[in-house]
Amino acid sequence: MTIAGARKGRPSIVQRLVGRAQARNLSCLIVPGPEVALAHGLDLAAAGMRIAATPRDAAVLVVIGALSRKLDEATAVLYAQMPRPRAVLVLGGPTPSSLPPADVSTDLSQAELIEATGRLQQALAEGAFTASPEDFDASVLQARIEYVCPMHPEVVEDEPGRCPKCGMDLVAREAGAESGATEGMSEHDHNHHHEHHQGHDHNHHDHDHDDGHQQGHAHEHARTEYVCPMHPQVVQDEPGSCPKCGMDLVARVVGADEGAAEMPLKHGDHHDHEHHEHERHQGHDHEHHHEHGQHKHDHGGHDHSGHDHGASGFMSMVEVTKDLPRSADGLAMDWIKVPFGPVFPGLPGGLRLTLTLDGDGVAEGQATSLVGMSAVTEEGAAETFVERLATAMALAPVSYRLLACRAIEQAAGLKEDPATARARACALERERIASHLGWLAQLGRQLSFVWLMRRATTLQLKTRCANREQLVAMRPALWALNVRLELTPLLKARLKGIGALPGGSHDFRGPVARAAGSAEDVRQADTIYRELGFEIRTGTTGGDAWGRLQQRLMEIMASLDLIEAGVDPGMPTLRDIGSTSGISEASVETPRGRAALRLTLEHGQVVSVELDTACSHHIGLVANLVEGRELGDALVAVGSLDLSPWEVIS
Amino acid sequence: MTIAAVLLALMVSAWLLAVIEAWLSTGRLRPVAPLLAGLSHLGRESLLPRKPDRLFFETAPVLLLVVAVLGAAVLPLAPGLVIADLATGALFVNAALAYVLVALIMAGWGPNGAYAMVGGWRFLGQLIAYAMLIVMPITAVAMRAESLLNTAIVASQASLWNIVYQPLGFVLFFIAAMALAFRAPFDLPTAPGELAGGVDAEYTGMRLAVLRLARLVLVITLATATTVFYLGGWHGPLLPPWAWSLIKTLTVAVSMLLAGHYLPRIREADLLSWCWKLGIPLALLNILIVGLMILVVP
Amino acid sequence: MFLQAFFVAVFGLAAIGFGVAVFRTASMVRSALALLFSQAAVGCMFLAMQSEFLGVLQIMMMATEMSIMAIFMVMFMMDPGGLGGMDMSHQKRFSIGAGVIAAGTAFAVALVSDWGPVTVEAPDAAMQARELGIEMLGRSMLIFETAAVTILTAMIAATAVAIPVHEPARNDGKDENDKEASR
């Protein structure tokens, strides 16, 4: 029996030895991300796996739960980037459609995981090598080739040939190279998209458009003139030396009716496409070149065909860079559009951050969710709706279960039962503690702060299912964590002043808003909470990443106080609603902020819902927070928002 | 013979360090883990990224390993146990380690990937921060020994270790050495949470195995350098000299690891500004103090 | 003696080879690193010629200097990867002529000069370092200090000149305007 991602090789003694070594040294890449595993109570480290930061470093792809279509596609790219032998472990969901069948699949529980790891190790030890490995292929990896005219960007053909407008040979490029539609499928998509070339090209294109007709054959009308490299104002029709500095004049070609010195700068966007030259090595590499099909290398933005370059190919730096966007330091550098995520070690899984990098600085950026819930939800029974909503929100299932229950019961006209409400409130507070601890673990992962990562992970796993007594017993540990983080050197310097909310901003919620001093909390209006002694606490240190850290630490302790004053946490379950009808609007203070649900119930069936979550608002902040920041700071700023891509309503 | 002994010592220390590192991060002590990891790297595909600068991509891990070993070659582990006791030994360590930067620039540029490239250039940015803090404390050490011979430097500490004689220099050198080894909290070029491995990101299989080994050896070399320059080298009671060298080297290496374990990654801008505004004046002050002590104290 | 001459020749040829490579590649980083290895080979020549301190110093200094040059070239050049095949040469005839004349002069000086008697025994490396140090603190001090400050000034000035100031930075735009107003 061999694994689907086996490497080519005869099963010899050496291979068996290597296979065994690999089985005992498992590194895994978790899709959507480690924080989702933790939210489900899975501890992969305890199961004997090391969590790898990149697909290059991983031997096992661990897929948790069902994936959205976009994430499924991204996963295929990640899988293709893993070196063989590689295995797929699917936990609690169907095997993603673009992946080969899972080598081991099991349910979402720690015991099952440990058992599955054992099976996986056996499979790896025995079947890491095979004489005839299967090729991995997925539609998302295929790069479609299209042919464009170097002079007329609007001419795009599926087959090679000549341009109908100017008769030039068409050049090949990968489809989507310009549209950006498919870019950034994964963190490893090294999209050397040199933005400035693009910006530049567009100017030229416009130009070409304008005089396309007279100018179609710029070559024929072109004349050569001679300029001094040092003194652009020295222009002659004949070769010679510069009267000012004595340097030899260099030739350049100008279009007949084009006075500006733009011709030699032509960087056409016809990239040289040598994606067939993917190098084979060791004879084992059975991947096709489209393994990296998503990589688009527009590096060679300059067309070298000789059509566009002036006779000498000379370019003056001043001329070439004069129209480029400049960063704060005044340097005109290549801007590269780099995708971070959807599976990136420092960011929540499922979130894709696209940053335009200007050196180490971020020129601009935006975040999108690949796993966000769609706004329209089809109707269904009330129980199914509760389950579906809770499953969809992988990072805060209890909060959304509570929200759904509350809304449905309210629509059905049921009165709140104080005892149940208390248990539910305590369950919500417990999830808040767990969620904030999960965020701390994520912060540790982002900052390579191993101690924090491990400590917060341990505490989070303990908190998840603890009862009141156990939670109260954890108070010293949580308090120690609190004090420890306040005293950790470098941490404050790292977070202070990063990701401050833009002035005049509004409609932010949860810890993000409270850290900035806004008393935004639905728990204030809740009688149960008032009985438990809830009082709102807002940050005083300002709405930056450091303030958010302190706010979350404070809320962990505050939630613990509430639970201590309350009862054992009880999972919200939908009470019997019969076949009533009604309309309601409920809100819950989830760990990330207020979520509101407007819902119409007809004869016990949910017919229409409208969900409004904190993360949908916060994700819009990203562009503002990253702009002009250094890369590390930008990522810290995004991380400090504690975005849950699942809670982004598209 | 000496060469074999020194190389063996390097490999053993690197293995011990790897075991301790795995112990710190997983909480389990598995002596075979580094060997298994090495073996499984060798058994995996070594992929090439698309359109790499092949020359740089291939050279970088090897160059890193070579310079780390070259740096160790001039450091004495015991009397007579040194591959080459150069008359310019203290300077040579620095010269060899300067090529760590070159290797990382190659590793950053080679794979044709954004993460790696940012990582490589980041390390160059860091150089401006740490380079002076490597050279200037070594200057003060050489001043006390009145020689650049590493054996003479160890001999000069027979009565009093440099960590006591010039504690300021030790602190600065230790921090700069950590930055040069690009371990957390100075792991800016690799930065798992920011650059997904950075310069490491594109290496797999055999090449990754060489790179990982090179990084371990680099830490050992820097720890040995710290031992030789500040901790009295092989001096110590009871145990044989080589054992003292090993114990001290591992202690320094492990404390470097521990610092990364308990600290978040430093901000690049902070590192630069603290090194320039605080580190360099302090290093100059250290030279001044040591100079005064040499002249005044007999 | 023969071995020494052999190594000097090998490293000399390597230095020339890398030197040629500097101009044979369009990639800025390759070019800079080729220059680095050319200079490092010169450092190795020093080592082969028994001047240890100079050799080690040369090898050390070049690593950082050329790396810094590499990043400047990447920052300021439009096509740092050299994939666009941009031609950066000009005034070829003049430069060939200048190169030939300079090389001829260097050869002539090497052949014609009276180099004095061959030193039979070079002082040992420790002695060299000591003598070099004493020389550096003697009459050479002023020369080196001046050269160092000049180079630093030139570097800063060149960078300052290369960055246009007409487009004020976003953050401190106000300061820039104020400065311009005061001018």
Tens of pLDDT, residue by residue over C67-113, are 888 887 777 776 666 665 566 677 788 989 999 999 999 999 989 98
**Res C176: pLDDT:** 40
The residue-averaged pLDDT of A494-516 equals: 78
- A589 shares a domain with A470: yes
Tell me the chain A residues in contact with residue C79 when contact means C-beta distances shorter than 8 Å. Answer: 302
Give pLDDT, residue B49.
75
Alpha-carbon distance of A635 to A612, in angstroms, equals: 25
- Give the residue with greater pLDDT, B236 vs B180: B180
Does pLDDT of B89 surpass 90? Answer: no
Q: What is the pTM of this model?
A: 0.79
Please say whether the beta carbons of B4 and B19 come within 8 A: no
Q: Please give the pLDDT value at position A572.
A: 81
Task: State how far residue B224 is from chain A, nearest Cα, in angstroms.
Answer: 25
Is C128 in Cβ contact with B91 (below 8 Å)?
Answer: no
Chains contacting C (3+ CB pairs below 8 angstroms): A, B
- A271 and A373 co-located in one domain: no
Sign of the Cα pseudo-torsion (B255, B256, B261, B267, in order): positive
CA distance A8 to chain B (A): 10
Q: A287, A283, A9, A4: which is closest to A129 by C-alpha?
A: A9
| pLDDT, position B58 | 87
pLDDT in tens, A209-228: 333 333 333 334 456 677 76
- Residue B89's identity, in one-letter code, is G
Average pLDDT over residues A140-147: 64
B290 vs A420, more confident:
B290
- Does residue A279 have a pLDDT over 60? no
Over residues A20-38, mean pLDDT: 84
From B45, B51, B113, residue closest to A285, measured CB to CB: B45
Lowest mean pLDDT among A92-96, A154-158, B241-245, C136-140: A154-158
CB-based contact B45 A282, cutoff 8 Å: yes
Q: pLDDT at position C149, please?
A: 94
Domain harbouring A387, CATH code: 1.10.645.10
76-95 in chain A: CB under 8 A from chain C: none
CA angle A239, A244, A245 (to 5 degrees): 80
What residue type is assigned to position C16 of the chain?
Answer: I
Higher local confidence (pLDDT), A74 or A329:
A74
* Confidence band, pLDDT 50/70/90 cuts, at residue C172: very low
B277 vs A: CB within 8 A: no
- Contact check, Cβ <8 Å, A630/B269: yes
Flag whether A199 is in a domain.
Answer: no
Contact B88 C125 (CB under 8 A): yes
Could you give the CA distance from residue B52 to residue A297 in angstroms, rounded to a whole number? 11
Residue C183 pLDDT greater than 60, yes or no: no
Chains that touch B (3 or more CB pairs under 8 A): A, C
Task: Average the pLDDT over each of A271-275, B39-43, B123-127 and give the range with the smallest value.
Answer: A271-275
Average pLDDT over residues C2-16: 90
Whether residue A373 is predicted with pLDDT greater than 80 in this model: the reply is no
Compare CB distances from B264 to A24, A50, A490 and report the shortest one's residue.
A490
Percent of chain A with pLDDT over 70: 69
State the Cα–Cα distance between residues C116 and C139, nearest whole angstrom. Answer: 23
Judge whether C75 is closer than 8 Å to chain A, CB to CB.
yes
- Report the C-alpha gap between A500 and C164 in whole angstroms: 30
**In sequence order, what DSSP letters do the residues of B86-111 get, joined into one string?**
-TTHHHHHHHHHHHHHHHHHHHHHTT
Asked if A541 and A435 sit in the same domain, the reply is yes
- Answer yes or no: are the C-beta atoms of A402 and A590 closer than 8 Å: no
Question: What's the pLDDT score for residue A320?
Answer: 55
Distance from CA of A331 to the nearest CA of C (A): 6
Residues A573 and A498 in one domain: yes
What is the pLDDT averaged over residues C151-161?
86
A451 inside 8 A of chain B by CB: yes
Same domain, A522 and A391: yes
Sign of CA dihedral C151, C154, C156, C162: negative
What is the H or E stretch that residue A26 is in? strand A26-31
For residue A298, the tally of other CB atoms under 10 A from its CB is 24
User: Could you tell me which residue, A308 or A639, shows the higher pLDDT?
Assistant: A639
Chain B hits for C51, Cβ within 8 Å: none
User: Is C53 an interface residue toward B (CB < 8 Å)?
Assistant: yes
pLDDT at C105: 95
Among A67-76, A369-378, B71-80, B208-217, the least confident range: A369-378
pLDDT at res. B222: 93
Residues of C in contact with B149 (CB under 8 A): 126
Flag whether residue C126 sits within 8 Å of chain B, measured between CB atoms. Answer: yes
Residue A197, in any domain of the structure: no
Q: Residue B173: is its pLDDT beyond 90?
A: yes
Length of chain C: 183
Cβ-defined contact of B109 to C29 (cutoff 8 Å): yes
A144 pLDDT above the threshold of 50: yes
Closest-CA residue of B relative to A276 is B50
In a domain, A73, yes or no: yes
Percent of chain A with pLDDT over 90: 1
**C35 in contact with B at a CB cutoff of 8 Å?**
no
B229 pLDDT band (50/70/90 cuts)?
very high
pLDDT tops 90 at residue C153: yes
Split at pLDDT 50, 70, 90, the class of A283 is very low
| Overall average pLDDT of the A592-613 stretch | 82
Compute the Cα dihedral for C111, C115, C121, C127 and give only its sign. negative
User: Searching chain A, which residue's CA lies closest to the CA of residue B202?
Assistant: A56
Binary contact (A300, C81; C-beta < 8 A): yes
- Encode pLDDT of A73-87 as tens digits: 888 888 888 887 888
Residues in chain A: 650
- pLDDT tens digit sequence for B139-150: 999 888 888 888
Residue B7 C-alpha, separation from nearest chain C C-alpha, in angstroms: 22
CB nearest A330 (choices: C78, C93, C165): C165
ipTM: 0.87
Q: How confident is the model at residue B289 (pLDDT cuts 50, 70, 90)?
A: very high
Q: Is a pLDDT exceeding 50 seen at residue A578?
A: yes
- Given an 8 Å threshold on Cβ–Cβ distance, is B264 in contact with A299? no
Report the CATH number at residue A31.
3.40.50.12280
pLDDT grade for A188, boundaries at 50, 70 and 90: very low
Contact A317 C76 (CB under 8 A): yes
Same domain, A116 and A242: no
Residue ranges making up the domain that contains A540? 369-647
* A289 to chain B, closest Cα gap in Å: 8
Contacts of A488 (CB under 8 A, 6+ apart): A449, A452, B262, B263, B264
| Residue A394 phi, psi (nearest 5) | -60, -30
Res. A229 pLDDT band, cuts 50 70 90: low
pLDDT digits (tens, 9 = 90+) for B247-268: 899 999 999 988 888 889 888 8
Using a pLDDT cut of 70, give the percent of chain B over it.
100
- At residue C14, the pLDDT reads 93
Range with the poorest average pLDDT among A172-186, A286-300, B5-19, C149-163:
A286-300
| Backbone φ, ψ for residue A401 (5° rounding) | -65, -45
Identify the weakest region by mean pLDDT among A127-141, A580-594, B27-41, B231-245: A127-141
Q: Does B261 touch chain A (CB under 8 A)?
A: yes
A628 interface with C at CB cutoff 8 Å:
yes
Nearest to C124 among B87, B94, B99 (CB): B87
The predicted pLDDT at position A517 comes to 77
Nearest-angstrom CA–CA distance, A302 and C23: 20
List the A605-612 sheet strands across, edge first: A380-381, A605-612, A593-602, A582-590
Q: Are residues A240 and A386 in the same domain?
A: no
Cβ <8 Å between C83 and A300: yes
Q: What is the pLDDT of residue A523?
A: 80
Q: Where are the alpha helices (DSSP H) in A24-174?
A: 34-39, 69-81, 110-127
**Within-domain flag for A381:** yes
- Quote the minimal CA–CA distance from A503 to chain C in Å: 15
Whether the CB of C93 is below 8 Å from some CB of chain A: the reply is yes
Assign C13 a pLDDT band (cuts: 50, 70, 90): very high
Residue C34 touches partner B, C-beta closer than 8 Å: no
User: Which chain A residue has its CA at the smallest distance from C94's CA?
Assistant: A248
Q: Using alpha carbons only, what angle is made at residue C138 by residues C136 and C142, rounded to the nearest 5 degrees?
A: 75
- Least-confidence region, from A516-520, B113-117, C54-58, C135-139: A516-520
Whether A244 has a pLDDT exceeding 80, the answer reads: no
- The closest CB to that of A491, out of B27, B200, B264, belongs to B264
Residue A26: pLDDT band with limits 50, 70, 90: confident
Split into its structural domains, chain A has a count of: 3
pLDDT of residue A70: 81
